[in-house]
Structures are given as structure tokens and as C-alpha cells.
Amino acid sequence: MVALKPHPEFTALRNSLVAPLVEGFTHFQVYTFFQFLQITMIPSSLLLIALSFFSTNASASGSVITVGAKRAITPLPTNGKFDYQIGGAYTPASDVKVVTRDRTDSPVSGKYNICYVNAFQSQPDEASFWQTPERDHLLLRAKDGSYFIDPDWPDEFLLDTSTSSNRAELSTIINGWISECQSKGFNAIEADNLDTYSRSNGLLTVDNNLELAKLLTAHAHEIGLAFGQKNSGSIAAQAKSEAEFDFAVVEQCEEFEECDVYEKVYGDAMLEIEYFNEDLDKDGLTNWEDACRERGSRISVIFRDVEVVKKGEKDYVYQEC
């Protein structure tokens, strides 16, 4: 909430009329509007007309705030059948209740929609976005000065969360994406790669990433979106306590024997994905079947191809308990 001091004669009018109308304004728009109130003396009837026009034409871009109470957050449905579509959108089955899609896609009408945002490293096709004079310093560098690239995903750069100034800049960018998710109609955010600290050769810390996560969850909650922790089971309790995550999206916890860690922290507010893997027993199906027996009656556990391709493509795999 923005702390401003409008002219005393407008205090009552502001409290009853202005706050609801400026919800969704950018910080600059709210500031400008209240400055306008401080220096003018407009009859209330004309003020209402001006307010209506200002509210209707306010830009939805930028950092969005609310005045007064936060918007209501819709929690993750308990044990709602889940479909993971971050590799490309397609029509989900009619009994699916929860769908995750990339932030560049649109939500599905009538479902609980989670917006996937790669918040701690870049997407494969985003090199040109980050490698600019304005943003290049936000990419993590190795000790030799080269870009630090995810060893498992060689076309993704790790983002440098090591300083407060970097985190502030990163949050401005990522919160803009989160606002776009909200404006499209998504219900929640899945912020991927919280665990970059674990593969940064000591260049990043848990606290670095959680400090950025706090900035992201605060903004999401302010505009009415739930926020999910993605993986990083070893810090689940700390992450929920400090960054106020609402649920967990967990990959391969059966394979890595860490599902109970998430359950202790999030209970049934959890989505589990086990993946097809030719190196595992029955190509990974054994892990998924075990997970279904252990947790399938309480949470949605799905089996997917590791590239999460669209339905109808060659390597598409999907099963749910």
C-alpha cells in the first residue's frame, strides 16, 4: 500500500471512493492521482467522473499494486487431477482440474490454472532478451568471467541473485511476467529453478534465491495469485516459512526418496510428477506406480515424458493415478 497524505478535505472521499477505483493502478499512477487530489478542489460529482475515466484508462502494465486489502487467493484444489503442459498447450481431458502452462500461453476456461515462470534461470529462447546492455549484468558469471550455464540444460543461463540490487532488478522483470499471468486469468504461479544455488559452484546461496522468492511471492499474493515452490525439498520448511509459498510442485520425489519432506511442509497442497526414464525400472513406471499407491489417494501424481511435449507428438507420455 502506498503511504500518501492527501489534502484533509478529501480524506473521507478518498476512503469511500478512491481506494476501490485505483485498485490495479501502477505505483506511478497512484502517486500522480493523489498528488492531483492534494492540489485541487473539485466538486465530488466531477471527481467521480474523473475517477471513472482514470480507472477505465489505467494501463495494466508495470508493477501493479492494490490499495487496501489484498485480493483473494484461490488455493490449489485438493487432489484435483493434474495435467502438466509447460512444453506446449493442448486441450486437457474433461476430468482434469489443474493445468500448468507456460506464461506465454493462455489458461483453460473452467480449470485451476498455474502459470509457469522460469524465475531463476533463462528460458532456452531468451538469450537475446537477457544479453543486452540493460540486462546482461543479471546473468551469473563463472570465475573466469564466462556465462554460468546450467550443466543439464546447456541453453539456459543462471540468473545472478547474489546482490540486493540484482534481485530488485530481477523482481521488476519477473513480477511483470507474474502480472501478465494474472491479467490472463491464471490462478497461481510455478516459479522454476529455485535450486540454482545447488549447481552454481558456490556462487549463489539458498538465502540469495529465497530473498528473490520473497519479492515474487509478495507481489503474486498482492494481486491474488497463489505461489508454488518448485523442487528444493531440502529447504522446503525454510522456503515456506520465509517466502510464504502456498503449495509445492515436485518432480521425481519418489525416485529421489524425498516426497515425505514436502508432505510434512505442504500436506496435500502438492502436485507430483514422475518422468519416463529408460534408465529406470520399467522406464520409470515403477516409481510412478509406487507413488500412486503411497499418495495417489491424497494428491495428483502424474507420469510424463521429460520434455513434456504436446499431446499427439511422438514422445508424448501422460498417466495419472
If you write DSSP's letter for every residue of 91-107 in order, what string do you get?
Answer: PPPTT--EEEEETTS-P
> 165 and 241 share a domain?
yes
On whether residue 168 sits in a domain, the answer given is: yes
> 154 and 260 share a domain?
yes
> 199 and 107 share a domain?
yes
> 272 and 141 share a domain?
yes
- φ/ψ region of 116 (left if φ > 0, alpha if ψ in -120 to 50, else beta) reads beta
> 139 and 268 share a domain?
yes
For 106, phi then psi, to 5°, come to -105, 155
**What is the per-residue burial (b if ≥16 Cβ within 10 Å, else e) of 141-178?**
eeeeeeebbbeeeeebbbbbbbeeebbebbbeebbebb
On whether residue 68 sits in a domain, the answer given is: no
Residue 216 CA to residue 229 CA, distance in Å, equals 11
> 252 and 123 share a domain?
yes
> 52 and 91 share a domain?
no
Counting the structural domains of the chain, the total is 2
On whether residue 64 sits in a domain, the answer given is: no
Mean pLDDT by 10 residues, the chain (321 residues): 38 36 42 40 39 34 42 95 97 97 98 98 94 97 94 91 98 98 98 97 97 98 98 97 98 96 98 95 95 97 97 96 93
Give the per-residue pLDDT at 151.
85
The whole domain housing 157 covers 82-320
CATH number of the structural domain spanning residue 141: 3.20.20.70
On whether residue 21 sits in a domain, the answer given is: yes
222: amino acid identity, one letter: E
For 304, phi then psi, to 5°, come to -135, 160
> 30 and 132 share a domain?
no
> 227 and 156 share a domain?
yes
